[in-house]
Amino acid sequence: MTRSPQYWLMKSEPDAFSIDDLKRKGQEPWDGVRNYQARNFMRDGMRVGDKVFFYHSNCAEPGIVGIAEVATDAYPDPSQFDPKSNYFDAASSRDNPRWMLVEVKFVKKLKHTITLKALQAEPALADMPLVRKGNRLSVMPVGAAEWRHILTME
């Protein structure tokens, strides 16, 4: 069964992996997600072709900086099995992996950042988890109307 493309927002710290890194590499496994809700969105919600806002967090000017696209179905995050990785999880096993990822590919970089501050100022976006204080979810769905609204803000 097919369905319309859906929309997502994924956070990354630019010091670790920025939109320019994604542009340079073209496509990248979104590893290191260690939150069940975020994992469930990747594993159960995302489909190849879904659109993604790329968001820079924990930086001088947090906000949406680009657009990416879901490029693969979910598969086990290899870093959970690597004892040398920061993302190693001793409680996970290859038989029963706990953490999943999708790969995302670069679509475009926005001409300028749509800042968190600007997003918070939009009444139309007040229901987004992103703009709520204390929100820490790193992968979240974006409604079609919210997606369109944000695109007009570029």
Looking at beta carbons only, is 27 or 35 nearer to DNA?
Answer: 35
- Closer by beta carbon to DNA, 5 or else 118: 118
In this structure, what token pair is assigned to residue 83?
Answer: 């004892």
Nearest-approach distance from CB 138 to DNA, in angstroms: 4
Considering the complex, state which of residue 36 and residue 82 has its C-beta at the smaller distance from DNA.
36
CB of 63 to DNA, least distance (A): 8
Give the pair of three-digit tokens for residue 128.
Answer: 């987004």
- Minimum gap (Å) between residue 52 Cβ and DNA: 15
> Strands (DSSP E) along the chain, which ranges?
7-12, 27-29, 51-56, 63-70, 75-76, 100-101, 103-115, 139-142
Handedness of CA 82, 72, 150, 152 (dihedral sign): positive
Chain positions contacting DNA, by CB under 7 A = 11, 13, 34-37, 57-59, 62, 91, 116-117, 132-138
Question: Minimum Å distance from CB 139 to DNA?
Answer: 9
What is the smallest separation between the CB atom of 4 and DNA, expressed in angstroms? 27
Q: How many residues does the chain have?
A: 154
Indicate the residue among 71 and 130 with the shorter CB distance to DNA: 130
Nearer to DNA by C-beta: 51 or 56? 56
Q: Please enumerate in sequence order all residues whose Cβ is within 8 A of that of 28, keeping only pairs 6 or more positions apart, or say none.
A: 17, 21, 22, 103, 104, 105
- Are 45 and 12 in contact, with CB atoms under 8 Å apart? no
